[in-house]
Amino acid sequence: MSTEEKSEVSQLKEKLFANTKNGAKRISEEDLTKADEFCEEYKNFLNSAKIEREAVRYAVTLAEDNGFTKFDFNKNYNPGDKVYVVNRNKAVILAVIGRKRSTEGVKLAIAHIDSPRLDLKPNPLYEANDLAFFKTHYYGGIKKYQWTTIPLSLHGVVMLKNGESVNVSFGEDDNDPCLCVTDLLPHLANQQMSNPMVKAFTGEDLNIIIGSRPFKDDKESELVKLNILKILNNKYGIIEEDFLSADLEAVPAFKARDVGFDASMIGAYGHDDRVCAYPALMAAIDCGVPENTVITVLTDKEEIGSDGNTGMQSKYLSYFIEDLAQQDGVEARHIITKSKCLSADVNAAFDPNYASVYEARNSSFINNGVVITKYTGHGGKYDTSDATAEFMSEIRTMLDDANIIWQSGELGKVDAGGGGTIAKYIANLNIDVVDLGVPVLSMHAPFEIVSKIDVYMAYKAFLKFFS
Ligand code: MN
Ligand code: MN
């Protein structure tokens, strides 16, 4: 074979084959620097917004600093006006009014800000053998053993009987104590370790140890519990019954940090889905005066099926669009039908250590950029929205035009398992939607891993979609 023929082959390959070259080899030096810078701010967000309420507070503060105001449906808005709506302190809509009439449709990026965790039960506090514990009910899809013997912090809100709300963030400061779920020593774990993994730990085993020193009194019982309540009462003003009117969530206490000798990745709790929420938030902040009205939604309850009034099956987004419609004197359905949405959620990055569950030709890879997922669901494409060829075409052209490194991905092998996103609920509104987000290693583990390049490409993608 001559050199000339070879070059014809390579030319043909370049023309006809999909580009699968590693994104880290393709990215410009300028974008690589920007990616590293963007991720420093992303790490701050991860550390200051571990739960949905904190993410909402972070988003609102940042939005207000950048000219967003609380939406008032009686007010008339002009192109470039920036507004937000908070839903029950657990979800937020941020919108920038566009130049075009709203009947041209809006552009949506929707990410979720809830992550798997251990929620306290409504009556959590008890004492056993002179140790105090919290009972928990895990939230979302977890491998239970991963949540034992790691430092945990406690976040959320307690509503006192008098209506006062007390914010809790305990165990984050390096000087704070932390909390923990214990595990059995291997010496006595013969029975436990002979169980299949799903049976080695039950939900009722996930009890958090919270104290061991009794209140000094020889006559009474439950003195460790009493001592803990006394401490909680001093610190937060709460009594035992207040746990009933509380949203308290135990999450990993560790901070986000770089992973790898090359610091190319970030390890943290809750990348799924704050790794899309942060870029989608920043795209709304940075989009200027867009053509179409743009809307970033940071929603709640995705990890448990998007049910409830703060999840994407609720009408809160539709109601907001109805308010926009009313301003323009048009019907909401005419806006909605012409709208387009990026369901900003993560996909499973190919993991060579568990290669057998992935189908490599259709998997997303660390460093290969933002991942488009045409459909999620499970066996036989159940429970998903399958984006149309037309919308897929629009999105890939947009990404190529903006020099964004991207890849496509399916969630593992056919019939290996499955999962879903909010895409199908948006599709049910008659909106064009596709999943676009960041590949994650060890998804749903207390410490998940993403690539800095991919995080930045997600931001570029949402920004391009908006502008
Ligand atoms: Mn997710
Ligand atoms: Mn998830």
Q: What distance in angstroms lies between residue 446's CA and the mean position of ligand 2's atoms?
A: 12
Cβ atoms within 10 Å, residue 195? 12
Q: What distance in angstroms lies between residue 1's CA and the mean position of ligand 1's atoms?
A: 50
Task: Please state the rounded mean pLDDT for residues 435-456.
Answer: 98
| CATH number, domain with residue 83 | 3.40.630.10
Q: Nearest to residue 168, comparing CAs of 92, 113, 86, 245?
A: 245
Task: Please state the rounded mean pLDDT for residues 338-350.
Answer: 98
Collect all residues with Cβ–Cβ distance below 8 Å to 6 and sequence separation of at least 6: none
3-class secondary-structure state, position 196: coil
**Closest ligand (CA of 141):** 2
| Same domain membership, residue 355 and residue 281 | yes
Q: For residue 245, what pLDDT band results from cuts at 50, 70 and 90?
A: very high
Residue 426 lies in domain: 19-115+269-466
pLDDT, tens only, 15-73? 999 888 899 999 999 999 999 999 999 999 999 999 999 999 999 999 999 999 999 99
| Same domain membership, residue 110 and residue 134 | no
Q: Nearest to residue 264, comparing CAs of 20, 47, 23?
A: 23
Of the listed ranges 125-134, 272-281, 393-402, 407-416, the least confidently predicted one is 407-416
pLDDT of residue 6: 81
Angle, alpha carbons 289-294-296 (nearest 5°): 125
Collect all residues with Cβ–Cβ distance below 8 Å to 59 and sequence separation of at least 6: 84, 92, 94, 281, 298
Residue at which a domain ends, from 201, 225, 252: 252
**Closest ligand (CA of 273):** 1
Q: Are residues 108 and 342 in contact, defined by beta-carbon separation less than 8 angstroms?
A: yes
* Residue 199 to residue 187: CA distance in whole angstroms: 19
* Residue 181 to residue 187: CA distance in whole angstroms: 18
Q: Are residues 396 and 389 in contact, defined by beta-carbon separation less than 8 angstroms?
A: no
| Same domain membership, residue 273 and residue 248 | no
Q: Amino acid letter at 277?
A: A
The conformation of residue 209, written as its DSSP 8-state character, comes to E
* Residue 462 to residue 467: CA distance in whole angstroms: 9
**Closest ligand (CA of 303):** 2
pLDDT, tens only, 203-213? 999 999 999 99
Q: What distance in angstroms lies between residue 467's CA and the mean position of ligand 1's atoms?
A: 25
Q: Is residue 232 part of a domain?
A: yes
* 105: Cα separation from own chain's centroid: 26
* pLDDT > 80? residue 141: yes
| Same domain membership, residue 126 and residue 107 | no
For residue 10, give the H/E element and its range: helix 3-16
pLDDT of residue 2: 54
* pLDDT > 70? residue 375: yes
Task: Please state the rounded mean pLDDT for residues 397-421.
Answer: 94
DSSP string spanning 297-324?
EEES-GGGTS-STTSTTSSHHHHHHHHH
Q: What distance in angstroms lies between residue 438's CA and the mean position of ligand 1's atoms?
A: 10
| Same domain membership, residue 451 and residue 335 | yes
Q: What distance in angstroms lies between residue 67's CA and the mean position of ligand 1's atoms?
A: 29
Q: What distance in angstroms lies between residue 136's CA and the mean position of ligand 2's atoms?
A: 19
167 φ/ψ angles, rounded to the nearest 5 degrees: -80, 135
**Closest ligand (CA of 274):** 1
* pLDDT > 60? residue 199: yes
Q: Is residue 263 part of a domain?
A: no
**Closest ligand (CA of 113):** 1
pLDDT of residue 5: 66
* Residue 423 to residue 85: CA distance in whole angstroms: 21
**Closest ligand (CA of 304):** 2
| CATH number, domain with residue 204 | 2.30.250.10
Number of domains in the chain: 2
* Residue 382 to residue 375: CA distance in whole angstroms: 10
Half-sphere exposure of 150 (CA within 13 A, CB side): 20
* Residue 317 to residue 93: CA distance in whole angstroms: 8
Token digits of residue 275: 């790794």
* pLDDT > 60? residue 357: yes
pLDDT, tens only, 270-284? 999 999 999 999 999
Cβ atoms within 10 Å, residue 218? 6
| Same domain membership, residue 107 and residue 48 | yes
Task: Please state the rounded mean pLDDT for residues 346-358.
Answer: 97
* Residue 347 to residue 274: CA distance in whole angstroms: 13
pLDDT of residue 16: 95
Q: Is residue 6 part of a domain?
A: no
Token digits of residue 224: 């460790």
pLDDT of residue 21: 85
Q: What distance in angstroms lies between residue 302's CA and the mean position of ligand 1's atoms?
A: 7
Token digits of residue 33: 């620097």
Q: Is residue 245 part of a domain?
A: yes
For residue 258, give the H/E element and its range: strand 257-259
Q: Is residue 13 part of a domain?
A: no
Residue at which a domain ends, from 222, 252, 282: 252
Bridge partners, 323 (sequence order): none
| Same domain membership, residue 371 and residue 441 | yes
Of the listed ranges 10-14, 182-186, 232-236, the least confidently predicted one is 10-14
Residue at which a domain ends, from 252, 280, 302: 252
Q: What distance in angstroms lies between residue 345's CA and the mean position of ligand 1's atoms?
A: 5
Q: What distance in angstroms lies between residue 421's CA and the mean position of ligand 2's atoms?
A: 8
The conformation of residue 214, written as its DSSP 8-state character, comes to P
* Residue 66 to residue 60: CA distance in whole angstroms: 10
| Same domain membership, residue 340 and residue 456 | yes
Q: Is residue 9 part of a domain?
A: no
**Closest ligand (CA of 142):** 2
Token digits of residue 45: 């967000």
**Closest ligand (CA of 443):** 2
Token digits of residue 173: 């400061």
Q: What is the mean pLDDT of the chain?
A: 96
Q: What distance in angstroms lies between residue 278's CA and the mean position of ligand 2's atoms?
A: 16
pLDDT of residue 299: 98
Q: Is residue 257 part of a domain?
A: no
**Closest ligand (CA of 422):** 1
Q: What distance in angstroms lies between residue 123's CA and the mean position of ligand 2's atoms?
A: 27
Q: What distance in angstroms lies between residue 162's CA and the mean position of ligand 2's atoms?
A: 36
Q: What distance in angstroms lies between residue 303's CA and the mean position of ligand 2's atoms?
A: 5
Q: For residue 250, what pLDDT band results from cuts at 50, 70 and 90?
A: very high
* Residue 440 to residue 445: CA distance in whole angstroms: 10
Task: Please state the rounded mean pLDDT for residues 83-95.
Answer: 98
Task: Please state the rounded mean pLDDT for residues 441-467.
Answer: 98
**Closest ligand (CA of 438):** 1
| Same domain membership, residue 438 and residue 331 | yes
Q: What distance in angstroms lies between residue 272's CA and the mean position of ligand 2's atoms?
A: 5
* Residue 297 to residue 108: CA distance in whole angstroms: 7
pLDDT, tens only, 283-315? 999 999 999 999 999 999 999 999 999 999 999
| Same domain membership, residue 380 and residue 279 | yes
| Same domain membership, residue 123 and residue 111 | no
Q: What distance in angstroms lies between residue 221's CA and the mean position of ligand 1's atoms?
A: 45
**Closest ligand (CA of 448):** 2
* pLDDT > 60? residue 4: no
Bridge partners, 445 (sequence order): none
Q: What distance in angstroms lies between residue 52's CA and the mean position of ligand 1's atoms?
A: 13
Q: What distance in angstroms lies between residue 307's CA and the mean position of ligand 2's atoms?
A: 14
Burial class (CB in 10 A: 0-12, 13-18, 19+), 336: buried
Radius of gyration of the chain (CA): 24
Q: Nearest to residue 298, comparing CAs of 439, 90, 66?
A: 90
| Same domain membership, residue 457 and residue 337 | yes
Q: Please confirm whether the linkage preceding 273 is cis (ω < 30° from 0).
A: yes
Q: Is residue 289 part of a domain?
A: yes
3-class secondary-structure state, position 377: strand
